[in-house]
Structure 1
Amino acid sequence: MRSSTVVRAGALCWVAVAPLFLAANVIVGLAWDDPAFSWATNNISDLGNVTCGVWDTTRPRYVCSPWHSAMNAAFLLTAALLMAGLVLTWRTWVPGRAARWGRGLMLLGAAGLGLAGAFPADSNENLHLLGAVLVFGCANAGLVAAGCARNGTLPARLRPATLALGALGLAGSVLFIAQQGMGLGVGGMERVAVFPLPVWATCAGLLLYFTAPRHRSLGRHLTAETSNQG
């Protein structure tokens, strides 16, 4: 299989990430009845809780998600698509410390989404919390690292957006942990922390899908481009 075909397959995985994750948040939230789901008040994790009842000692709220199975499946599928995209587009990153760190941290962030779906907050809070930490910290730090990658890599082609999304995600993570909604509500701030990686993946996937076919030997093209810039 030609390298451009593999990259396009990875790009398609990424293209689906943000629409899938956003749709799951919206559709599963609409299934709530009493009380209605609030993006400002409720955490994303509330959508995946498997039982009904008052949840969270810090911000007590009644949580009851009829379609929790769909949300947890969406967490797992989002993680799988992110990881598949990172593996299949591996050759577009080119060697370099920033690229390696960015790629590795993004993989950990994607794994965090998988943990959040596999272990809902009300069934295994510790593992769910670990997943959240990986998303908040690793995914967003990975974007910042990737934004510093050398020219000729995929992240460098999206450098302003990559750095901006990573910085936004890290800021959102700090504010969410501090329980500061800044007008968006604490739940809204969590989305500022979590959505940057899915949004970046979809943007990067679109870019790759429409440009990868131009290079019959993508690996040689990127290696030559990096050598010329060195």
Structure 2
Amino acid sequence: MRIHRLGSYSWLLAAPLFLAANVISGLAWRHPPFSWAIHNISDLGNVTCGRWDTTRPREVCSPWHVAMNSAMIVTGVLLALGVLLTWSALGRGAATTATRLLALAGAGGYLLAGAYPADVNENNHFLAALLIFVLGNVGMIVAALARRSPVLGAMREDSLALGLTGLAGTVLFLAQVDLGIGVGGMERVAVFPLLAWTVVVAVRVMREAPGPRR
């Protein structure tokens, strides 16, 4: 169905958009230069320059914070559209429904993070992070249980691997354990699996969707 393909395209756009925003916004930093190992993703969206964070102090100055926050909001919109437009394509069952709702919560996290940068409203930004780190990653593990879904049932191993990776990254990030890739690097381990998962699901949905009539 056309609507399923539109949902898949939304998901396929979200991941590269967010990744590009991370890279391009980071390249704009000068003093200090941006480091994926040292700095959090949220640092790219901070609207002021200065020393930030009492638990892990670091210098933050993001000239293109407007672009980064806008990209986070658009990423959230695209992720939410992906869920809503592919709703019927994922099939039925309690696990499938729970997966959709948890993925929507993760999408809401991106919207909230972009709307409330960490140095503007830290409480709302922390809530946004929890939606992504916890509910988004748990959603992938729940997806591995969705046996009745023709799409999710075919990618159970992918869902489980990505979900566990994201949750492990979340636990280690919150514990400030970097395993040699920096705490900022560990945050990416927590965040990126959900985006990778949406790409895999999008490809599966497009394979299942019938082609246009001729």
TM-score with structure 1 length normalisation?
A: 0.89
Q: Please state if 1:88 is matched with 2:85.
A: yes
Aligned partner of 1:133 in structure 2 is 130
CA distance in 2: counterparts of 1:70 and 1:178, whole angstroms:
30
- Structure of higher CA gyration radius: 1
20-29 or 95-104: bigger deviation: 95-104
Alignment of 1:107-122 (within 5 A): 107-122=104-119
For each residue in 1:177-202, what CA deviation from the matched residue of structure 2 results, as whole angstroms up to 9, or x when unmatched? Answer: 00000111100000000111111112
Which of 121, 128, 131 aligns to 1:124? It is: 121
2:1 matches 1:11: no
Aligned-partner Cα distance in 1 for 2:185–2:195: 16
Deviations 1:124-174 (A, max 9, x none): 000000000111100000010011101443222221111110010000000
* Stretch moving more, 197-206 or 168-177: 197-206
Corresponding residue to 2:50 among 39, 53, 56:
53
Q: 1:99 aligns with which of 96, 101, 110?
A: 96
Matches within 5 A, 1:124-163: 124-163=121-160
Which amino acid letter does the alignment assign opposite residue 104 of structure 1?
Answer: L
Identity fraction in percent: 55
What secondary structure, in the 3-state scheme, does the structure 1 residue paired with 2:210 have?
Answer: helix
CA contact (8 A) 1:11 1:89 kept: yes
| Count of residues in correspondence between the two structures | 213
What does residue 44 of structure 1 align with? 41
How do residues 193-208 of structure 1 correspond to structure 2 at under 5 angstroms? 193-208=190-205
In 2, the alpha carbon distance for the partners of 1:94 and 1:215 equals 21
Residue by residue, what CA displacement relative to the aligned partner does 1:41-81 show, whole Å, maximum 9, x if unpaired?
Answer: 00000000000000000110110000000000111011000
Tell me if the contact between 1:13 and 1:81 (Cα under 8 Å) persists in the aligned partners.
Answer: yes
8 A Cα contact 1:169 1:196, kept in partner: yes
Post-superposition CA distance 1:72-95 (Å, at most 9, x none)? 011101100000010000012222
Q: Which 5+ residue runs of structure 2 have no aligned equivalent?
A: none
Aligned-CA RMSD value: 1.3
Unmatched segments (≥5 aa) in structure 1:
217-230
Cα drift, residue 17 of structure 1 = 1.3
